[in-house]
Structure 1
């Protein structure tokens, strides 16, 4: 069976801030910038992985979401408890230094975890938790 991860979705509430974080701080390339009805969807991805992407989307735009659900999503994003993603790098300290110098919202400095990985954690401008793991 040949199945890959093509895209993951994370919400954003400010497209320009999201782009500055994902492109300018993390070094992802912008692949698509789509506007519709006053909203913006951004597709970003690692330069050397053209078949893997993250779609940064306006929160709560799915047609089946109620106003109450949309409000809950917005509240959870503000607390940083709605969405997250795990990234990996061979240079965790270098990536962390770049994020720290770029005033990213640091949640945890690089740490050796008791479960056998070394990682750090930051939040993007929308509050999404991003854990970054050291590859071996």
Structure 2
């Protein structure tokens, strides 16, 4: 038996605004854009991991009103789980994302536990970290 990650969901306020961040600033490729019931699910991925997809959707997409409301509250507070990407050049990735106008939370630094990384907020307030690939 094998098991592997296939999808990672990121909840966002505005799919189009977030698409610009994840596609244009981070460099992920658009794979799918599905509309249903007044909502959209946009799937992106990296050529480095074609089998792993990131799905962007709004808090109420595919959820009950009550569940969507709770998720919206957590998104607004900025307390949803962070997403960590890896790259072979943290400094170049940092400059590319910063040039997009994203909110910088941490410039690239060498962490005491090993990796060099940086951090941003996406347009919805989710924390996104970019970390050096292990050598």
Q: Shared fold (TM-score greater than 0.5)?
A: yes
Change (3 A) 1:61 1:84: same
Alpha-carbon offset, residue 62 of structure 1: 4.4
Aligned to 2:97: 99
Aligned residue for 1:95, secondary structure, equals helix
Aligned to 1:45: 45
* Residue 87 of structure 2 is aligned to residue 89 of structure 1: yes
- Measure, in 2, the Cα distance between the counterparts of 1:83 and 1:62: 19
- Measure, in 2, the Cα distance between the counterparts of 1:61 and 1:41: 8
Query: Residues 11 and 59 of structure 1 are in contact (CA less than 8 Å); yes or no, is this contact kept in structure 2?
Result: yes
Aligned residue for 1:82, secondary structure, equals coil
Query: Match for 1:125 among 106, 109, 123?
Result: 123
- Measure, in 2, the Cα distance between the counterparts of 1:44 and 1:106: 22
- Measure, in 1, the Cα distance between the counterparts of 2:110 and 2:49: 27
Deviations 1:3-22 (A, max 9, x none): 21111111111111111001
Instruction: With the length of structure 2 as denominator, give the TM-score of the two structures.
Output: 0.90
Aligned to 2:20: 20
* Residue 112 of structure 2 is aligned to residue 114 of structure 1: yes
- Unaligned runs of at least 5 residues, structure 1: none
- Measure, in 2, the Cα distance between the counterparts of 1:58 and 1:43: 13
- Unaligned runs of at least 5 residues, structure 2: none
Alpha-carbon offset, residue 75 of structure 1: 2.2
Alpha-carbon offset, residue 108 of structure 1: 0.8
Deviations 1:94-121 (A, max 9, x none): 0000011110111111111121221111
How many residue pairs match? The answer is: 134
